[in-house]
């Protein structure tokens, strides 16, 4: 165990069981998974957390099944859970657990909405759904473009609502999540967020060392998503150990079965540094992904005259395997789409993996694009700023998850 983790665990052990998250007050047993400090929040979080997209009703025959998954994760020593307002009924499932096990978990949730008025509604809904008085971390979700950040921070932006609820004690800390490795360093230099959530794995690592360095500089907690590169890495244990061998706070694999919870938490419980053989294995797997796989290096985006977020489009296409409705909704959120390509070929000239980027973009567009009428309606709703509200209202009224 690293010296930092050892001190973190000792610090947690010295605290009163009745007030420390990550321990079962009734049993008094210490967490099985080593704890790490989540930056300046001073929260001591399990190095293996839980990404709660996997507990949604779509993945389970009934709500009790999702609840049992969460209970199992907590019993195994997980004390950090990440969810979002857009993860369908994830918050509701977690609320069923948190109302009786609040002391066992730190909870983080997120909102896509950028205005203070809409963000306020999101926070109130999250508090009701999660059945808590205080949310440990509330995050601006999926901030991909500078314009979005400017909207969040402007007068009347989402940050106003987050700061207000923080002063009221309904939110403890404010974080941000993003897949954009170019924008994130700029955001972190502003030093306004307590935590940052970003993808990091054996495939997507080239651009993220700078993010981790800035996190250390400003004492920002690091929450790692996409540990398996969207399911493309199959050596799960080695993939998680690869991440835990770096200076990060916690990693949040998404688990939809108890078997996955058992497997992932076992890595944390018995964590040791990667052996040279294991490191070679996971790096080799990352290098030997299918020839057509986008490694998300984003070199192509620097040359695209239309500013198309090419890596994000391919990421959305990856989501089709897990949840088609979510994947297509993510695609619609992008400011530019694959059909904006002017076929100049600059992307292919710079791609270090010689991918047929233009061909891949067109195939992705066909898979992700909705029908013309639906797309036109969605475009209009986005233009007038109503799309997120309409979609959320539809789901909250009991509408089925779109099977696009």
Q: Does the pLDDT at position 22 exceed 90?
A: no
pLDDT at 52 (0 to 100): 97
Looking at residue 398, what is its pLDDT? 46
Write down which residue in 282, 307, 324 finishes a domain: 282
Instruction: Convert the pLDDT of each residue in 86-108 to its tens digit.
Output: 898 999 999 999 999 999 999 99
Task: Return the pLDDT at 2.
Answer: 47
Confidence band (pLDDT; 50, 70, 90) for 111?
very high
Percent pLDDT > 70 in the chain is: 84
Residues 267 and 322 in one domain: no
Q: Flag whether 162 is in a domain.
A: yes
The reply to whether 278 and 304 lie within a common domain is no
User: Of the candidates 282, 312, 334, which is a domain's last residue?
Assistant: 282
**pLDDT confidence of 399, banded at 50, 70, 90?**
very low
Query: What does the DSSP 8-state code read for residue 115?
Result: B
Q: How far apart are CA 349 and CA 356, in angstroms?
A: 10
Residue 115 has pLDDT above 60, yes or no: yes
CATH value at residue 149: 3.20.20.100
Of the residues 235, 250, 282, which one is the last residue of a structural domain?
Answer: 282
The three-state secondary structure class of 293 is coil
Q: Are residues 223 and 353 in the same domain?
A: no
Q: Dihedrals φ, ψ of 373, to 5°?
A: -65, -45
The mean pLDDT of 130-158, rounded to a whole number, is: 95
pTM of the model: 0.78
Q: What is the enclosing helix (H) or strand (E) of 176?
A: strand 171-177
Examine the domain organization and report whether 278 and 342 are in the same domain: no
Q: Is residue 332 part of a domain?
A: yes
Regarding whether 262 and 303 lie in a shared domain, the answer is no
Q: Domain of residue 322: give its range.
A: 299-396
Average pLDDT over residues 204-233: 89
Residue 306 reports pLDDT greater than 60: yes
For residue 229, pLDDT over 90 is answered with no
Q: Are residues 240 and 306 in the same domain?
A: no
Q: State residue 291's pLDDT score.
A: 66
Mean pLDDT of the chain: 85
Same structural domain, 316 and 213: no
Of residues 383 and 129, the one with the higher pLDDT is 129
Q: Which residues of 120-133 are buried (b: 16+ CB within 10 A; e: fewer)?
A: bbbbebbbebbbbe
For residues 173 and 29, state if they share a domain: yes
Tell whether 359 and 263 lie within a shared domain: no
337 and 203 co-located in one domain: no
Counted domains in the chain: 2
pLDDT band at 388 (very low <50, low <70, confident <90, very high): low
What residues are paired with 35 via a beta bridge?
Answer: 46
Q: Is residue 313 part of a domain?
A: yes
């Amino acid at each position: 165990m690293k010296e930092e983790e050892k001190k973190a665990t000792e610090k947690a052990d010295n605290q009163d069981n009745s007030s420390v998250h990550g321990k079962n007050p009734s049993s008094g047993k210490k967490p099985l998974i080593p704890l790490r400090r989540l930056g300046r929040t001073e929260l001591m979080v399990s190095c293996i957390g839980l990404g709660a997209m996997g507990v949604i009703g779509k993945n389970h025959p009934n709500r009790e099944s999702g609840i049992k998954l969460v209970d199992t994760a907590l019993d195994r020593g997980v004390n950090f859970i990440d969810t979002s307002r857009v993860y369908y009924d994830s918050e509701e499932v977690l609320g069923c657990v948190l109302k009786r096990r609040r002391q066992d978990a730190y909870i983080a949730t997120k909102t896509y909405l950028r205005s203070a008025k809409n963000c306020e509604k999101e926070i109130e809904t999250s508090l009701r759904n999660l059945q808590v008085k205080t949310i440990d971390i509330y995050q601006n979700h999926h901030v991909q473009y500078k314009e979005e950040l400017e909207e969040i921070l402007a007068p009347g932006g989402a940050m106003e609502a987050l700061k207000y609820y923080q002063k009221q004690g309904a939110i403890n800390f404010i974080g941000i999540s993003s897949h954009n490795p170019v924008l994130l360093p700029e955001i972190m230099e502003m030093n306004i967020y307590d935590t940052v959530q970003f993808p990091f794995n054996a495939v997507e690592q080239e651009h993220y060392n700078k993010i981790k360095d800035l996190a250390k500089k400003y004492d920002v907690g690091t929450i790692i998503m996409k540990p398996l590169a969207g399911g493309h890495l199959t050596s799960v244990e080695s993939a998680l150990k690869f991440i835990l061998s770096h200076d990060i706070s916690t990693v949040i694999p998404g688990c939809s079965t108890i078997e996955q919870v058992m497997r992932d938490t076992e890595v944390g419980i018995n964590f040791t540094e990667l052996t040279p053989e294991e490191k070679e294995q996971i790096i080799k797997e990352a290098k030997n992904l299918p020839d057509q796989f986008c490694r998300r290096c984003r070199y192509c985006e620097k040359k695209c005259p239309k500013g198309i977020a090419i890596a994000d489009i391919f990421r959305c296409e990856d989501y089709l395997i897990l949840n088609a409705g979510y994947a297509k909704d993510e695609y619609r959120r992008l400011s530019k789409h694959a059909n904006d390509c002017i076929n100049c070929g600059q992307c292919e000239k710079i791609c270090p993996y010689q991918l047929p980027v233009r061909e891949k973009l067109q195939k992705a567009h066909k898979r992700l694009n909705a029908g013309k009428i639906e797309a036109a309606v969605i475009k209009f709703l986005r233009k007038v700023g109503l799309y997120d509200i309409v979609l959320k209202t539809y789901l909250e009224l009991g509408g089925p998850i779109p099977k696009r």
